[in-house]
Chain A
């Protein structure tokens, strides 16, 4: 791809928006609010996995939260010396997506023998079983007390410590890399195979798509995203407890993706910022938040099934219609309106 191809107006606006976000946010946000934004962006990485499974492949999986937990507990065990050895945090971070892509592949091989709603229910079972282990199995997961004193991320001699702005930059890098990977998957054969499964599994089979393997690979990639974000999350927060990985939190990532637009990478990041950010602005109404999200999802599904990202399409469509109309007015003989 040449530079000329990249320099479309759409791309330039997008790149300017991303740079503006990365530059401006640390200037105006500090302290606790920064923590919220960092965690929201980490959750956006997890929702990328939802986008691949649900948006591209039409498979609803709640397992993201469990793989986030796997990643978090993996780092907790590797870097605190609980198991009698310590590996450097950076190395552990790099290992996480590889290890849990493999784990997710094996779990996916089993769960994806089921189809549709049955598969979804099996992921709920996975979340519950994993939560029970996280909450009770002392040797690996620290039981109900969780695991504290987790070291921060250190790359070479640089330690991220509690420098929230440094974390913000680092997380932004991974959000962007993750977004690029998702977009690349969307236009690769894997993305097309997933889309064909979503729209018609029988037709996909007759076009040579190994539907089972394709879904397992998507599940594995989603697992790697979630575990990687979980690893960053635990090094950012320095503590892991089972409470984070219950079923209620599992729904959170689906909500983020659906509000932002399950097929829009940028939309997912916005959705994650909204879902994590809004409750903090309306602290007094925290008891009503779940009600709010529930109603939001229903309204979105009815009026805007493509999420907030769909607003853009609606506006572009309206603009196009307007242009076509005005052009028709100019030239009544125009039979071919190529708007």
Chain B
């Protein structure tokens, strides 16, 4: 299957620290691809390189086999790269509704005048109802975003990203800080994104249960380098991966 997102020999260093060293992997559509590694391994740096916040020192990023290495971050978002952050980033002083409208703005691509005349665009369409159902949300859309608990905001960020109709979703530690129920809802949302909508999901996560459960393929990085790649079974039996991440040497 033709990958939807592909990295080719990506290098990035900050001063003397190498954050990415000759990283190559690809994300197929309609699947959840795991990206794991110890803290500081360079996972978030890769996210930033893919979404265009950082430019790689060398190497290329392809979206549907189109070279987007030099494309601006906002254009990449419009081309179909959606993402969420480790700590959700919203317009703190705005309502939930306005925050979600930002997602629909991205999908609609009408322009700055959208909503200037006539009625304020409604996010309460069928699509949102469907997503709400999956995420099990129970709040009023007019509430301020900071009235929501942390876990709900993280789920809402996934919803906002999906409302933007991305082709690829970069999801950064969706389970961190969530309770058991909320983790289930997050997994439902991501499965829906991949299986029903054919979005290629790149999932960074420390919760091994979630990774092993959801991912068809896993990329393991350490010190900015890919040290293992394959199905959950292959990865969990890979010697280098076990040393670096999963178990380490128990004799220590």
Contact = CB atoms under 8 A, between A and B. Distances in A.
Interface string A174-215: 000000000011011111110110111011111111110010
Nearest to A189: B114
B110 A205 contact: no
A208 B78 CA distance: 5
Contacts of A263: 93
Contacts of B90: 199-200, 203
Interface in B101-153: 101-103, 105-106, 109-120
Contact of A199 (B72, B91, B119): B91
A105 to B, nearest CB: 13
A200 B99 CA distance: 12
B115 A203 contact: no
Given A1-B119, A199-B91, A207 B114 contact: no
B92 interface: yes
Contacts of B112: 188-190, 193, 214, 217
Contact of B73 (A187, A191, A195, A206): A206
Interface in B36-85: 51-53, 72-75, 77-78, 81-83, 85
A51 to B, nearest CB: 14
A205 B98 contact: no
Contacts of B120: 187
B174 interface: no
Secondary structure class of chain A's binding surface, majority of residues:
helix
Interface residues of A, number: 28
B105 A189 contact: yes
B35 to A, nearest CB: 17
Contacts of A190: 112-113, 116
Nearest to B73: A205
Nearest to B94: A195
B174 to A, nearest CB: 15
B88 to A, nearest CB: 9
A200 B89 contact: yes
A189 B111 contact: yes
Contacts of B117: 184
Secondary structure class of chain B's binding surface, majority of residues:
loop
A207 B105 CA distance: 9
B28 interface: no
B98 A207 contact: no
Interface in A247-301: 263
Contact of B74 (A185, A195, A210): A210
B53 A189 contact: no
Interface residues of B, number: 39
Contacts of B82: 206
B93 A192 contact: no
B34 interface: no
Contacts of B73: 205-206
A44 B220 CA distance: 58
Contacts of A1: 118-119
A187 B164 contact: no
A188 B92 contact: no
B116 A199 contact: no
A305 B230 CA distance: 53
Contacts of A204: 74
Contacts of A214: 112
A98 B145 CA distance: 37
A200 B83 CA distance: 14
Given A187-B120, A206-B51, A192 B101 contact: yes
A187 B121 CA distance: 9
Given A192-B98, A195-B93, A202-B53, A187 B74 contact: no
Contacts of B74: 204-211
Contact of B85 (A191, A192, A203, A210): A203
A209 to B, nearest CB: 6
Residue among A185, A198, A199, A208 facing the most chain B CB atoms (10 A cut-off): A208
Nearest to B81: A206
Nearest to A191: B115
A81 B88 CA distance: 59
Contacts of B85: 203
Interface string A55-88: 0000000000000000000000000000000000
A198 B160 CA distance: 18
Contacts of B72: 205, 210
Nearest to B112: A190
A240 to B, nearest CB: 33
Nearest to A336: B138
B9 to A, nearest CB: 24
Contacts of A193: 102, 105, 112
Given A187-B120, A188-B112, A206 B78 contact: no
Given A206-B83, A207-B102, A209-B74, 14 more contacts: A184-B117, A187-B115, A188-B114, A189-B112, A189-B113, A190-B113, A193-B112, A195-B94, A196-B91, A199-B89, A199-B93, A208-B75, A208-B77, A208-B105
Interface of B: 51-53, 72-75, 77-78, 81-83, 85, 89-94, 98, 101-103, 105-106, 109-120, 160, 164
Interface of A: 1, 184-185, 187-193, 195-196, 198-200, 202-211, 214, 217, 263
9 contacts: A189-B110, A192-B91, A193-B112, A195-B91, A204-B74, A206-B74, A206-B77, A208-B109, A208-B164
